[in-house]
Amino acid sequence: MTPMPLADFTPMFAEPQGSPIRELFPYLSRPGMISLAGGYPSASLLDAQGLAMAAQQTMQQGSTHLQYGATEGLPSLRSALAQQAEERGMQARAEDILVTTGSQQGFDLLVRVLISPGDSVLVEVPAYPATLQALRLAQAQMLSIPMDAHGLDTEALAQLLSALPASQRPKLLYTVPNFSNPRGSLLSASRRTQLVQLALQYGFWIVEDDPYGELRFDAADGLPLAMPPSLHAVAQKMLAGSSARNPVIYLSSLSKTIAPALRIGWMLADASMLRRCSIAKQTSDLCTSALAQAIAAAYLAGGRYAATVERARREYQRRMQALTEGLLQLPGQPIRCTVPAGGMFVWAQLDPALDAQRLFDAAVDNGVVYVPGRAFYPDQPDVHTLRMSFAAPEVPDIQAAVQRLARACESAMQS
pLDDT, residue 294, reads 98
pLDDT, residue 28, reads 81
d(CA 36, CA 44): 16
The CA–CA distances, whole Å, from 395 to 56, 234, 319 equal 33, 38, 5
CA atoms within 13 A on the CB side of 31: 0
Classify domain 18-39+306-414 at the CATH class level: alpha beta
The 8 Å CB, 24+ separation contacts for 187-193 are 187/150, 187/151, 187/152, 187/228, 188/150, 188/151, 188/228, 189/228, 189/229, 191/150, 191/151, 191/152, 191/154, 192/228, 192/229, 192/230, 192/231, 192/234, 193/234
Identify the CATH number of the domain defined by range 48-302.
Answer: 3.40.640.10
pLDDT, residue 124, reads 98
pLDDT, residue 357, reads 92
pLDDT, residue 282, reads 97
Strands 120-125, 385-389: pairing kind? unpaired
The pTM score is 0.96
pLDDT, residue 17, reads 78
The residue ranges of every structural domain in the chain are 18-39+306-414, 48-302
- Sorted by sequence, the CB contacts under 8 Å of residue 360 that are 6+ apart come out as 370, 372
Residue 74 · residue 297 · CB < 8 Å: yes
d(CA 406, CA 408): 5
| Same fold yes or no, 18-39+306-414 and 48-302 | no
pLDDT in tens, the chain (415 residues): 888 888 888 888 888 877 777 788 888 888 999 999 988 999 999 999 999 999 999 999 988 899 999 999 999 999 999 999 999 999 999 999 999 999 999 999 999 999 999 999 999 999 999 999 999 999 999 999 999 989 999 999 999 999 999 889 999 999 999 999 999 999 999 999 999 999 999 999 999 999 999 999 998 888 888 899 999 999 999 999 999 999 999 999 999 999 999 999 999 999 999 999 999 999 999 999 999 999 999 999 999 999 999 999 999 999 999 999 999 999 889 999 989 999 999 999 999 989 999 999 999 999 999 999 999 999 999 999 999 999 999 999 999 999 999 999 999 988 6
